[in-house]
């Protein structure tokens, strides 16, 4: 399996209290994103650009993500993760040099992890994969698309030794 660490340029910003520092988040995030990129290239024939593709991760709070969610999605409430692809992309299409931005809200992720009785880092790993897949055009609005996206998320997380995030949920 190819290693894509050199093909991902991960930019991290922490803009809220309660998050680990950027070095800790990089150490945790990079293997997850590399595993997701490897899974897509090896199993889904996803092409990648020749130069490192940049992905920006913003670690913020509920208030900030609620504001962004209201402005860009007309949903005036916090959410766990938002993804903003730099360029429109369909699954299997070649991305540009900038993949896009993924934004995380600490309080929502902490609450969900507690409700799911999962470690925070494991839930964050799931959301990293989820947000990353959105950058490649995957979505979960329609049932068929949700089944595809959930299967990808599960496969990637299991490859990292993490549990299936959908194991205890009702089928779509």
Q: Is residue 110 part of a domain?
A: yes
114 is in which domain, residue-wise?
A: 7-159
**Residues 6 or more apart in contact with residue 142 via CB below 8 angstroms:** none
Q: What is the pLDDT of residue 72?
A: 96
In a domain, 166, yes or no: no
Please indicate, yes or no, if residue 169 is contained in any of the structural domains. Answer: no
The pLDDT assigned to 172 comes to 46
Q: Quote the tokens at residue 16.
A: 């809220």
One pLDDT digit (tens) per residue for the chain, 172 residues:
344 445 799 999 999 999 999 999 999 999 999 999 999 999 999 999 888 899 999 999 999 999 999 999 999 999 999 999 999 999 999 999 999 999 999 999 999 999 999 999 999 999 999 999 999 999 998 889 999 999 999 999 999 999 888 886 654 4
Q: How many domains does the chain have?
A: 1
Among 93, 171, 172, 105, which Cα is nearest to 137's? 93
Distance set, CA 43 to CA 11, 35, 36, 37, 130 (Å): 26, 11, 10, 10, 17
Asked if the structure places residue 165 within a domain, the reply is no
SS3 30: helix
Q: What is the CATH number of the domain that holds 112?
A: 3.40.390.30
Within-domain flag for 170: no
Distances (CA, A) of 65 to 53, 87, 103, 157: 24, 21, 7, 25
Residue 37 domain-assigned (yes or no): yes
- Distance CA(18)–CA(7), nearest Å, equals 30
Q: Specify if 13 maps to a domain.
A: yes
């Amino acid at each position: 399996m190819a290693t894509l660490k050199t093909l991902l340029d991960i930019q991290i910003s922490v803009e809220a209290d309660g998050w680990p520092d950027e070095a800790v988040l990089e150490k945790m995030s990079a293997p997850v994103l590399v595993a997701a990129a490897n899974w897509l290239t090896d199993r889904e024939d996803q092409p990648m650009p020749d130069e490192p593709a940049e992905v920006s991760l913003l670690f913020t709070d509920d208030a900030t993500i609620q504001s962004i969610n209201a402005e860009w999605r007309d949903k005036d409430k916090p959410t766990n993760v938002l993804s903003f692809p730099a360029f429109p992309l369909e699954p299997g299409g070649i991305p540009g040099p900038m993949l896009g931005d993924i934004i995380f809200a600490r309080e929502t992720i902490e609450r969900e992890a507690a409700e799911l009785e999962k470690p925070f880092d494991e839930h964050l790993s799931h959301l990293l994969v989820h947000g990353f897949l959105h950058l490649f055009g995957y979505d979960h609005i329609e049932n068929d698309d949700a089944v595809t996206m959930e299967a990808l998320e599960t496969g990637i997380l299991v490859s990292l030794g993490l549990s299936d995030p959908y194991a205890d949920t009702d089928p779509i």
